[in-house]
Amino acid sequence: MLALSGFAKQYLYGARLFGGVDAEFRDGETVAVYGGEGSGKTSFLKTICGAERAEGEVLLDGERIERRTDKVIMVFDDGAVFRTRTVFDNLAYPLKLRGTERAEIASRVVAAAEETGIGGCLNVRAGRLTPAERRRMSLARLIVRPARLCLIDEPTAGLSREDAREVFRDFFSIVRKLRAEGTTVIFSTSSREETEIADRIVVLVSGEVKQIASLQDIAKAPESVWAAQAVDEHYNVAKAVLCDENGVLKLVFGENDEIEAECLRGRIAEEYIGKEVLAGWFPDAAAEGGATAPAAYVLHRANGFVMCAEEGFAEFSVRRKESVSLRPDIARVTLFDRTNEFSIMRESEV
């Protein structure tokens, strides 16, 4: 098990990343570190593996991770350790360092290369590989020797859409194999689609961890607007005032535009009553009645359509529609603090 306690990264110039994370990742769990460019994904991985100094504790099986421990495999950048050496030499290098016998090295390297589709490149210098082949060499490094924890930075970065799809398919195959062996895999990505293979995702925004949860749990109870948007870029957000009128809780979006919200009573701190909040909902949680706007464009999804209005709102339906609901199903809405955009919801009182 990988355990983080008070996990953070402090830079000399003052920036502090990750904010002191406390989390545990199970044996065989697959974790996606998700965020845009500059969000801190690479630093998150490097700090876990000891390539960069961490605040707090990073424990693997109860022991601090050391940079050159045999329990961890780290793959960053393009995967070419020595660009002027062959693919065989690059894959064999970590085994040679550990004193593995030559016959065993050859067997492992050939098997890893064949499994990742670069068996024909073993005698090619790493610097002459195509971007897709370099990424496949990175994948081969994940399985050339056993480990308890595998870290890989953006396995498909810099590839064409077609190459990225093929390389990620092979990566997923390797992940399934490592998962069955009890190896924890943590990979970074800026692709929402790639997060779907993960048991949980770490949502990173500007170096801050917004939520660590499965996609399903984030969809059910996002802890912040950023986490919800990580699950669905068409997540709806609207300003509203939470009011208590004659003992009835309401969300007021504007003049003659309100929704009864009594079902939320007890799930929101009393201090927010009478204040402006942010109401958020996924496209499939739009209200069936109420205010609508014309659909400016429509996106196809595997099981239906997402209609998008010029106002920025989106609604999902199994059938194509000409209009978009501008308001949520109140039973499926999440309310957020207007200033910090974190959820103000809590579990229902029993």
Kindly report, residue by residue over 192-215, the tens digit of the pLDDT: 999 999 999 999 988 899 999 999
In-domain check, residue 350: no
Tell which of 225, 257, 290 closes a domain.
Answer: 225
Number of domains the chain is built from: 2
Residue 166 is predicted with a pLDDT of: 95
* Residue 266 domain boundaries: 232-337
In-domain check, residue 347: no
| Residue 79 pLDDT class (50, 70, 90 cuts) | low
- Give DSSP secondary structure letters for 249-274: EEEEEETTEEEE-GGGTTSB-GGGTT
In-domain check, residue 35: yes
166: phi then psi, degrees, rounded to nearest 5: -70, -45
Residue 78 is predicted with a pLDDT of: 57
Mean pLDDT of all residues in 89-113: 94
Torsion sign (Cα): 152, 157, 158, 163: positive
Tell which of 173, 207, 225 closes a domain.
Answer: 225
Task: Tell the burial category of 217 from Cβ atoms under 10 Å away from its Cβ (0-12, 13-18, 19+).
Answer: middle
Torsion sign (Cα): 44, 46, 48, 50: negative
In-domain check, residue 113: yes
Torsion sign (Cα): 176, 100, 111, 166: positive
CB contact at 8 A, 8 and 54:
yes
In 3-state terms, what secondary structure has residue 67? coil
Task: Tell the burial category of 55 from Cβ atoms under 10 Å away from its Cβ (0-12, 13-18, 19+).
Answer: middle
240 and 215 assigned to the same domain: no
221 and 238 assigned to the same domain: no
Residue 230 is predicted with a pLDDT of: 86
Residue 346 is predicted with a pLDDT of: 82
157 and 210 assigned to the same domain: yes
52: phi then psi, degrees, rounded to nearest 5: -130, 145
Higher pLDDT, 176 or 230: 176
Tell which of 210, 225, 240 closes a domain.
Answer: 225
CB contact at 8 A, 245 and 231:
no
61 and 147 assigned to the same domain: yes
119 and 209 assigned to the same domain: yes
Cα–Cα nearest to 187, from 27, 20, 34, 17: 34
In-domain check, residue 342: no
Beta bridge partners of 254: 257
In 3-state terms, what secondary structure has residue 31? strand
| N residues, the chain | 350
| Residue 191 pLDDT class (50, 70, 90 cuts) | very high
Cα–Cα nearest to 261, from 269, 245, 250: 250
130 and 264 assigned to the same domain: no
In-domain check, residue 116: yes
Cα–Cα nearest to 269, from 215, 337, 176: 337
What single-letter amino acid sits at 16?
A: R
Torsion sign (Cα): 204, 330, 344, 5: negative
Residue 349 is predicted with a pLDDT of: 46
In 3-state terms, what secondary structure has residue 322? coil
* Helix-then-strand count for the chain, H and E: 7, 19
Kindly state the greatest CA–CA separation across the chain: 82
Q: How does pLDDT run across 266-299, given as a tens digit for each residue?
A: 899 889 999 999 999 999 999 987 789 999 999 9
Residue 169 is predicted with a pLDDT of: 94
In-domain check, residue 346: no
Cα–Cα nearest to 172, from 185, 153, 190, 159: 185
Residue 135 is predicted with a pLDDT of: 92
217 and 241 assigned to the same domain: no
27 and 170 assigned to the same domain: yes
Q: Tell me which of 31-35, 64-68, 219-223, 262-266 is least confident.
A: 64-68
In-domain check, residue 153: yes
131 and 6 assigned to the same domain: yes
CATH code where residue 103 lies: 3.40.50.300
182 and 267 assigned to the same domain: no
110 and 76 assigned to the same domain: yes
Residue 54 is predicted with a pLDDT of: 86
248 and 220 assigned to the same domain: no
